[in-house]
Chain A
Amino acid sequence: MSQGRKGKLNYRCPSCFMRDLDIDMFYDKEKDEFYCMRCQYTGKEADVLEKNEMVRFRYRDMAKRFTKFDFD
């Protein structure tokens, strides 16, 4: 097996991101998958992108534009 390397874009582990950890993943060319050194996440690019959408679940107001900042 060849060594892990970083991809063109350095995807972070979506599983670790959800626990506030920024961990760069490495890419396994033979398996065509990204893997996390910190946890057990592995996934192809499409899965990483899908999970990156999922991590936004907590940002319920991400698309909202606020005009009032008090409750008066």
Chain B
Amino acid sequence: MDKFVVNIIHRPEMVPEYAEKVTGHGKAEDIGRKALLTESLDIFKTQQECAHKNGLKTTIQMTYASLFNDEAVALAKEHHEKYGDEIALTLLGLPCTEFREKYKTKDFCIWMFSMEDKMSIVDDVFGKFHERFGFYPESTGSYYMDADLTNYIKSKYPMVKCAVATCWEEGPKAYHTCNNSWYTFMDGGPWAPWIPSKQNTHAPAANEAEDSGIVAIPHLSRDLIACYDGNGSNFGTHPQNVLRGMIYDSKTWDFPYMYNLIDQYRDLEKYNNGYAYNMMFVGPGWMNKMGRWEAPYELLLKSYEDGCAYYGQLKKEGKLTDMTMSEFADYYREKKGVTKGVYTEPECALWRDILYGSEKQLFWYCDPFMRACVNMDQGGAIVDLRPYAAKLEWKTGIGTKHVWDASYPFLIQEKYRAGYFTHYAGEGTVRSAKVCYNGEEVDLCLCRTKAHFSEEPNADGQGKTRILTLDPVDIEFYDLTVKLQTRVIFEEGSSGIKIERNILEMSNPDAEVEINEYIVCCYGTTEYSEDMNGITLCCTGDNETRTITYAYKCREERLADAREVSAVIPPIETKVSLTAQGKDFTGYVKEGYAFSPMLTLGYTTTLRNKEVFATCLKVEKAN
């Protein structure tokens, strides 16, 4: 049966984010102000009321500060009894007088503390929770949970089974939006619930040995087009974030976009075996009486009431199931087959533009081996690629190499590293193909199209293969028109993406075109280039291997009938490769240069009418 699940989460945050700095302007900082504490609890009560009056249960994530407040504790107990709300524990909301006095720091992001402090804080917070409630929580979370943190929590508090663990695509874009002041990056993770691996939170577990023991949920359900391009905090299932993006009618205060966003998430059950998910988690700072930016309190309140009312309406219509986080964790493991040992079922999202009027369409794919984005506005090009197969151990926080950067590195990122290239000199990261005829060349990135999703069982009976079939495109040369169709094929558990180019028709049936399948990639987590020295590029044949060790020298190697072309990227312990099917093809590798610090892998062949050329992109761990 199809199921659309929502988790609604509230936290009594005694010192709401933003409230002290933003609305307290003109006053010296005092996080123990009585007025601040009173208002914070009032907001929590209002949020709870909004959910309950619409028949929705919540997960109450107690903050450290709220554990010192008798009224907050009593409310949680009362609502658990009366409404079935789960009493959980968040690692957000650490700042309070007691915390500051004990840890002597203004840091507040749990994933950014030293490991020693992480353990101490976790024990402190979980201990205080137990002292107040007499049991340990089953759910926890923060904006990000690094693997070491999760592993520690799970080892000490094994009853924890669910956690809010990332904010989708909040990296350099969030940093820029905050005028280069948001010093924490967490790009590159799943947009929907997943089981994090023990090695890296972003990368889903591939098997029981890698299973961290929790089900992770994203902080909010975000627009998979708008958030990838713009500010991640404007386009999610967070009513006040939608106001932040000014996506509402300033006269009527209507915001149909919020409902479109929820409905598009509901629609994703088509691609995920009848399951879809939403998460709404609004911190109290977004509903304070002083208003927030242009939005007065009345609008902030209305938007939250409207959001809850819509989820409530869906529930009444039998189109939504509200769950607590721990209930969801059990449901998710069962639904995804994890309880039967299956970890490879991917999360898929064929997503259309619902805001800008462009009809642009993306396909997002996530499994334990990779996250990929296919852009139909660019002829089915892959415009984002994260090699989860490497299960990169990437420690975060003070005392590590990554104090503030928790992002999972990309091989392709079209916004940070150009994508299809239109500027002065160089190349951008993308996986596409060029069709050539009589000296003319057309990149499929320039052929806008739409995709259709289908799936079929794998030949070995293990899992399924998901297929994107793109509408055919016409490629027009001076004296030849070629109708070409692309299929993008994701075989479950293969760690690869197969792409087929099928020549359906040619205006001259005897013509022959050349096709150049390629991937341009690099690695990184930000907009700026990393050191490419030492990357190994390789054309591997049955009898010969040609290798380039990257040194920015603009070299190329080619090999007829190459069995594989590949790059090994030591800093991210990743091997990326292309293989081709058929005959009479040539593999090549290209080194970049200082002004274009990229690498290219590719295959060329010639195609006639009705012929197909298939290549497979694969990511693997290399160490």
What is A's interface to B at a CB cutoff of 8 Å?
5-6, 8-12, 17, 20-24, 38, 49, 52-53, 55-56, 58-67, 69-72
A8, B230: Cα distance in complex, Å: 28
Tell me, yes or no, whether B134 is within 8 Å of chain A by CB. Answer: no
Which residues 246-266 of B sit at the A interface, judged by CB distance below 8 A? Answer: 246-250, 254, 256-257, 259-260, 263-264
The reply to whether A61 and B267 form a contact with Cβ atoms under 8 Å apart is: no
15 residue pairs from A and B, CB less than 8 Å apart: A6-B25, A6-B26, A10-B25, A17-B246, A20-B231, A22-B178, A22-B231, A22-B293, A24-B293, A59-B246, A61-B257, A61-B355, A62-B257, A69-B263, A70-B267
The reply to whether A72 and B294 form a contact with Cβ atoms under 8 Å apart is: no
The reply to whether B257 and A21 form a contact with Cβ atoms under 8 Å apart is: no
Count B-side interface residues using an 8 Å CB cutoff.
Answer: 45
- 5 new A-B contacts, CB < 8 A, other than A61-B257, A69-B351, are A12-B294, A20-B230, A60-B357, A66-B264, A71-B450
Kindly list chain B residues whose C-beta atoms are within 8 Å of the C-beta of A62.
247-249, 256-257, 355
| Least CB separation from A61: chain B residue | B357
Q: Which of A10, A49, A65 contacts B22 (CB 8 A)?
A: A10
Kindly list chain A residues whose C-beta atoms are within 8 Å of the C-beta of B246.
17, 52, 55-56, 59
Kindly list chain A residues whose C-beta atoms are within 8 Å of the C-beta of B254.
63
The reply to whether B177 and A22 form a contact with Cβ atoms under 8 Å apart is: yes
| Least CB separation from A66: chain B residue | B260
The reply to whether B296 and A9 form a contact with Cβ atoms under 8 Å apart is: yes
The reply to whether A71 and B293 form a contact with Cβ atoms under 8 Å apart is: no
The reply to whether A59 and B231 form a contact with Cβ atoms under 8 Å apart is: no
Kindly list chain B residues whose C-beta atoms are within 8 Å of the C-beta of A24.
22, 293
A20, B259: Cα distance in complex, Å: 23
Known: A5-B25, A71-B450. A65 touches B256 (CB 8 A): yes
Kindly list chain A residues whose C-beta atoms are within 8 Å of the C-beta of B178.
22
Contact code string B348-372 (vs A, CB < 8 Å = 1, else 0): 0011111111010100000000000
The reply to whether B452 and A72 form a contact with Cβ atoms under 8 Å apart is: yes
The reply to whether B361 and A60 form a contact with Cβ atoms under 8 Å apart is: no
Tell me, yes or no, whether B244 is within 8 Å of chain A by CB. Answer: yes
Kindly list chain A residues whose C-beta atoms are within 8 Å of the C-beta of B543.
none
Tell me, yes or no, whether B319 is within 8 Å of chain A by CB. Answer: no
The reply to whether A21 and B177 form a contact with Cβ atoms under 8 Å apart is: yes
Kindly list chain B residues whose C-beta atoms are within 8 Å of the C-beta of A52.
246, 250, 294
A51, B353: Cα distance in complex, Å: 24
A10, B359: Cα distance in complex, Å: 34
Tell me, yes or no, whether B386 is within 8 Å of chain A by CB. Answer: no
Q: Which of B231, B248, B294, B356 contacts A61 (CB 8 A)?
A: B356
Tell me, yes or no, whether B570 is within 8 Å of chain A by CB. Answer: no
The reply to whether B356 and A64 form a contact with Cβ atoms under 8 Å apart is: no
Kindly list chain A residues whose C-beta atoms are within 8 Å of the C-beta of B247.
56, 59, 62
Contact code string B293-328 (vs A, CB < 8 Å = 1, else 0): 111100000000000000000000000000000000
Q: Which of A12, A64, A66 contacts B293 (CB 8 A)?
A: A12
A24, B176: Cα distance in complex, Å: 14
A10, B244: Cα distance in complex, Å: 12
A31, B285: Cα distance in complex, Å: 31
Kindly list chain A residues whose C-beta atoms are within 8 Å of the C-beta of B359.
71
Kindly list chain A residues whose C-beta atoms are within 8 Å of the C-beta of B357.
60-61
